[in-house]
Amino acid sequence: MSENQGPSGPREGAPGGEGRELAARARQLDAEDVLGVLRDRFVLDDTVYLDGNSLGALPRAVPGRIADVIAREWGELRIRSWTESGWWTAPERVGDKIAPLIGAAPGRVVVGDSTSVNIFKAVVGGVRMAGKGCTEILVDAATFPTDGYIARSAARMTGLAVRPVEPAGIAEEVTERTALALVNHVDYRTGELNDLPGITTALHSAGALAVWDLCHSAGALPVGLDAHHVDLAVGCTYKYLNGGPGAPAYLYVRESLQERFESPLPGWNSHTDPFAMDAAYAPADGILRGRVGTPDILSLLALEAALEAWDGVAVEDVRAKSLALTDLFLECVAAYVPAGRVRPVTPLDHRRRGSQVSLVCSGAGEVMDELIRRGVVGDFRHPDVLRFGFTPLYTSFADVERAAWMLGEVLGAPGASGAGG
């Protein structure tokens, strides 16, 4: 595609000098990109897809794997596949594939259920491990709504109170009465990266546990759960891990806590002897006690195939490209978008930035609709935030430059929405 091509055809006007320089720089960055070959591992088209922070693109390995699961493992082997095809052990096997992407050793991650269910397990299980005299749960004040809903429900069940706190203030707000804090590693709305090591250390200093929501960080940047002694963590797999719509989530439990972890959902799949059908519950050893019911095999095995896209990939390289992509996008937005039309709310500081860029823009919903119509897919959050997610495994620098150029075209058009406050 030439520098005068848009994501869905020729650009209406060739870019000026600065634009030509940015387009040329994007091409050079793509030529030097060590992760560029990974793009072929995904099913993509001419659309500039910048919504991988909501739903990742389809990895090429998935359709064939699922066809085999349906036709052979389910269609021919049927019940035998629980043992012969490894269905029974899939939750911990797939967990071990996710583990290195979040800085965990084998045996510390189990896959299954939704993010919401795993947050419930982690929060209630964490409260049960907390010291006597704890009266409160701290919750990230800017949290994704479901996290807050689950935390408040868990608090009602355990007799504790929920106290919303800004993540940056947790070190000052935590007390000996705090059982745990539930914090988002990356703010879903602004893309701000919270200080996982520092917050975890502050919580531990007060005797509280750290529970992290990794939905917007896993697969986009190093997490370091083991290295930073995180207690519990949860995350989805359909964003940067590209597991597909409704793909199962995962639960991490620090190894030293596993034998104390008491799940509030003691299903038969986490029993030490599931097929004994014992009326008395006895939890399995280790991370297996994070399982609940029968695994959702089709989506679980789709996720397992999707994770093949990570073969040979270093998370550190992913982080380096993520920052380079977001830097270029911010630079191109500044060059292409008329002054005053948008305002970045994602931190410029690399230490505080996830893998998305959020821009305040009045009429954000209508602007995004027009971008999508023109072949640039992001999303927006009410009332006025445009969100662009950058998945380093398949997002190119040319994608970034074209998306910013198209945003400038949309906001520079007669009647385009003005900037938000």
- Sign of the Cα torsion 297, 301, 302, 306 reads positive
- Say if residues 309 and 59 touch (Cβ distance below 8 Å): yes
Residues marked as catalytic: 144, 213, 238-239, 387
- Which residue, among 123, 139, 154, has the nearest Cα to 194 in the 3D structure? 139
Question: In degrees rounded to 5, what are phi and psi of residue 55?
Answer: -150, 120
Burial class (CB in 10 A: 0-12, 13-18, 19+), 228: middle
Partners of residue 234 on adjacent β-strands: 213, 251
Retrieve residue 199's tokens. Answer: 């917050």
Q: How far apart are the first and last CA of the chain?
A: 36
Question: In degrees rounded to 5, what are phi and psi of residue 183?
Answer: -130, 140
Question: In degrees rounded to 5, what are phi and psi of residue 278?
Answer: -75, 135
- Residue 317 has a CB neighbour count (10 Å cut-off) of 14
Q: Which amino acid is at 81?
A: S
